[in-house]
């Protein structure tokens, strides 16, 4: 499921909140339990997004990563906050305004 739209629904958002801190070692059990009450594709998308958000914490911090949506490539290619701040400061110091 590549479409994020189902995760933006009330059911999808609630599911994202529920799986936020799922330990990958327990993911199969969690998925099995959740699929009793939710569509399998939605459960899979929520768990996948939770994994991506867990990986993104190192780059964006826990608060920002928890509210953002990611693709695997997006997480891999994103710049760490400290590096982005350094680059932005260099541009600002050079007089770049936009």
Q: What's the CA gap between 93 and 98, in Å, rounded?
A: 13
**pLDDT of amino acid 1:** 45
What is the reported pTM?
Answer: 0.81
**pLDDT of amino acid 2:** 57
pLDDT averaged over consecutive 10-residue blocks of the chain (98 residues)? 84 96 94 97 96 94 93 91 89 92
Quickly list DSSP for 44-78: HHHHHHHHHHHHHHHHH-HHHHTT----HHHHHHP
């Amino acid at each position: 499921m590549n479409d994020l739209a189902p995760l933006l629904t009330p059911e999808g958002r609630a599911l994202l909140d529920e799986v936020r801190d799922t330990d990958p070692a327990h993911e199969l059990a969690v998925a099995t339990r959740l699929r009793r009450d939710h569509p399998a594709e939605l459960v899979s998308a929520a768990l996948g997004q939770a994994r991506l958000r867990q990986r993104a914490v190192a780059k964006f911090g826990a608060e920002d990563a928890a509210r953002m949506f990611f693709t695997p490539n997006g997480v891999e290619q994103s710049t760490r906050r400290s590096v982005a701040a350094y680059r932005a400061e260099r541009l600002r110091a050079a007089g770049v305004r936009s």
